Structure 1
Amino acid sequence: MTGQLAVGTCEIVTLDRDSSQPRRTIARQTARCACRRGQIAGTTRAKPACVDVRVVKSKQWCEMIPCSEGEICGLLMNKSGWTCTQPGGRIKTITVS
């Protein structure tokens, strides 16, 4: 780990990509965050960010605005994550572990 983070910021610690399956890339990312009281590590605009702990506890993932500009967020049926649909129809699926 590196030095101290400024309060309210996050950094990516590891990023692993697996492109072994055709037309599919699986990426696993680990981030570390220094969040304020009432916040927890999450995702905003496709980057690690501190988000309201209520969003994570309720699994209302789209409330943290996790997708990039122009993408549409959709909650997975079992609330295990979300999808980001791009204007051309390409879909990114993100699951929380």
Structure 2
Amino acid sequence: MQLYRLLLPLSAAGVCWFLLCALHGHGIRQGHLWTGSCEIVTLEHYGSRPRRNIARQTARCACIEGQTAGTIRGRPACVRAEIVLSRQWCEMSPCLDDEGCDLLVNQSGWTCTQPGGRVKTTTVS
């Protein structure tokens, strides 16, 4: 009888875990995003000029109210909408930890400068 009392809650917990995993996998397969998450939809690379690589990426985000799609530490993420509206891109911490962030003169994007001097420029369209 004691074994039955122990196995019943464990088997119920196992069934719940299985259902949660199945629902999570189903949501991702159907293309749904969890609130606050982003995914890269397209990623294209161009090598048209020497020493210059151009990459274009499109992301899709499911942000909460007051947030919009942005970039944190080089990855798509939900950021405060005021950052995008005011075009103060460096406030969303788009560069990696060891990089410095600077706004472009016309505020159309930002640059991330690595310690070795390499510069990555990002423009927003």
- The offset of 1:20, in angstroms, is 2.4
Match of 1:74 among 102, 106, 110: 102
Query: In 2, Cα distance between the equivalents of 1:26 and 1:36?
Result: 31
* Letter matched to residue 9 of structure 1: S
Report the Cα distance in structure 1 between the residues aligned to 2:99 and 2:43, rounded to whole angstroms. 22
Aligned partner of 1:21 in structure 2 is 49
Q: Which has the higher contact order (CA 8 A, sep 6+)?
A: 1
Two-structure CA RMSD over aligned residues (Å): 0.7
- The aligned amino acid for 2:113 is T
Paired with 1:54 and 1:38, the residues of 2 have a C-alpha distance of 8
Distance in 1, matches of 2:47 and 2:97, equals 24
Larger radius of gyration: 2
Tell me which residue corresponds to 1:53: 81
Name 2:37's counterpart in structure 1: 9
Note the alpha carbon deviations across 1:15-61, whole angstroms, 9 max, x for none: 00001210000000000000010000000000000000000000000
Name the structure where strand makes up a greater proportion of residues.
1
TM-score (norm 2): 0.75
Quote the Cα distance in structure 1 between the aligned partners of 2:103 and 2:36.
Answer: 25
How many pairs were matched up?
Answer: 96
Using the alignment, how far apart are the partners of 1:15 and 1:59 within structure 2? 23
Q: Which runs of 5+ in 1 are unaligned?
A: none
Letter in 1 for 2:76: P
Identify the match of residue 63 of structure 1 among 91, 105, 125.
91
| Unaligned stretches of 5+ residues in structure 2 | 1-29
